[in-house]
Structure 1
Amino acid sequence: MRHIRNGDLLGHITDTWLTEASDALTGLSAQAPEDRSEFIKGNGQIWSGVKAAMAQLSHQKCWYSEKRIAVTELEVDHFRPKNRVSGSALPHKGYWWLAFEWRNFRLAYSLINKRRTDSREQNVQGKGSLFPLIDEATRVPDTAAAPTDGERPTLIDPCLSADVQLLDYAVEDGKLVERFTSHQHQLKNCRAKKSIELFHLNEGTLIRDRHDLYVAIRHSVRRVEELEAEREANGILTPKQEDDYDQLINQIGQQINAAAPFSSFARACLKQIGDLGWNTHLLTTA
C-alpha cells in the first residue's frame, strides 16, 4: 500500500461535477430513510464519474493492494459505507450523507471491495459494508448528516501517511504483515491485522503476484552483485557488462517506481537485502 494524496483529486473534478454531487445530496436529504438506498443506487454515475481521475492518482492501481487492473474493473469504494454498516453495535443505515462526497471515495480491486470466500484460505474476506471503529460508542448515528471527526476507524486509510506506515511485508512469502507486534503496540497491531483481513490483502492471486516480483528482483540483484564483483576484481567492466549493468539498474528502478504495480512491496524487497550501496542509492532516487 502506498499513500494516496486524494486531495489532488480536486484538480480533476469539474465545477459541473461538484454541482451535480451537491444537488444529489440535497435530493437525498429530502428522502425518507427507507428510500435513501434506492436514491443512492440511482445516482451511481456521480462516483463513477470521477473513477478515471482517481485511477490517475494511483497509476491505474487499487489504492489498497497496488494491483494494476483495467480501470473498468476497478470500483469506487465508499470508505464509510453509504447504505448500511455491518457489525455495528446498533443497526446503522450507513453514512448516507457521504454517498456523494469525494473525500469518502477510495479506488478498490473488486476482491477487496466485496465480501467473498478466498478459495485458498477457505474464509470470507473483503470489506463489504464493514466499518469497525476503535471505540464503537463514538459512531455517528445515521439519523442526520453529521461530522465524523470524533470516530477513529480501525481500518487503515490509504489516504493517511501514518496509517500506511502500519503495514510491512514478509517479502519471501509475498505477504503483507503487521509492522508492529502486539507487544510493541497493541492498537497498531490490531488495526493492521484487521485491515489485512478485511481488505483481503493476502488474497491468493495477490500473494502469487508479489512472490513472482520478489523472485524477479532477487534474480536481478544477484546479477548486479556479480557485476559489482567483476568491477571490483578487474577495475573495469566490458562494454557489454556495463550495458547489462545499466539495464538491470533501470529494470529494478522501474519496479520500485510509484507507477509500478506492487511498488511498495518491490521497495521492501530491495531494502531487505541490506545496504549494498547501489541499492540504497536507487531507493532514494527512483
Structure 2
Amino acid sequence: MTVQLIAMQLFSGLALGAILIMVALGLSIIFGMLGIVNFAHGALFMVGAYAGLYVAGLTGSFWWALVLAPVLIGLFGMLIERFLIRPLYGRSPDDPLLLTFGLGYVLVEAVRILFGTDGIPFSTPAALRGVVNLGIGFFPLYRLFVIGVVLAVLLLLWIGLEKTKFGLIVRAGSADPLIMRVLGVDISKLWLVVFGIGVGITALGGVLAAPMRNVSPEMGTLVLAEAFVVTVIGGMGSLAGAVIAGLVVGVAVSMTSLFAPEMATIVMFALMALILLVRPNGLYGRAAPGL
C-alpha cells in the first residue's frame, strides 16, 4: 500500500462523487422547488445514458450526445411534470411519490423492450482516452474530464440561481410560492422549467457515466439509492449539501473499495446513519417548523 495508490484512489473517489453530485443535484432541485421526491430519478439517469448512446450512434459524435441527450430528456421531464405530476399538486404527498415510483418501472421495462436486457458498451471518445501524469501517478483523462464538466455545471448553476432574475424567482418561489402567485408569477410554468432542468442535469450525469460502465436498464437502480443517500446526508433540497455529500460519499466508497471491498456498498449507508444521528436534517438541511 503506497501513498501514490491511496492518492489515486482518492481521485477515483472524486470522479465517482462527481457523478453522484449530478444525480443528487437533480433530486435536490426538484424536491427543493416542487417538494416532490422523484423515485423515477434513477430511471431518468438510465434513459439519459441510452439517449446519449442513441445520439452518439446517430451522429457519430460523443460531443453531440453530451449536448443533445440532456436537452431531449429534460424536455421529456417537462412532459412528465405537465401531464403526470401537475394534476397531483395539492393532493397527498404520497401520490406523486407513488406515481414516480411506478413511472420508474415503466421506463425500465420500456428500455428493455427497445434495447434488450444486455449491457451495451459506450466507447470513450478518442480525444479523452489515455492517462494523465498527475505527479503522484497516472489517472484516466476521461475521469478528469468528468470532474471538469461537473465543476462547470456547478458554476453555471450558481450563476443562474444567484446572479439572474430567473434564479431570484426560483429561490423566492421555493420559499413562498403563494406570495409569488400574488405578485403575478406563473408558478406552474416555473415548476415546469425547474423539473426539466433537474431531469436534464440527471440525464447529463447518465451520459457522463456511460463510458465508465456498460449502459443497461438496471444502471439507474444503484445510482438512485446512492443519490438518495447523498441527498439525505446533504439535507433534502440543499444544493450545497448535495455537492459536499456527493464528494464525501464518493471518496468514502472509493477508499473502502481499496481497504475492504466487501464493505464498499455498505459504507455509504453507515455514513448516512451516522450523519443523521448527529444532524437529523442532514449537513445543510433545515429543521421543520416547531423542531
Higher strand share: 1
- TM-score bucket of the superposed structures, by smaller chain: under 0.3
Larger RCO, structure (CA 8 Å, separation 6 or more): 2
TM-score (norm 1): 0.28
Quick check: which one's helix share is greater?
A: 2
TM-score by length of 2: 0.27
Larger Rg: 1
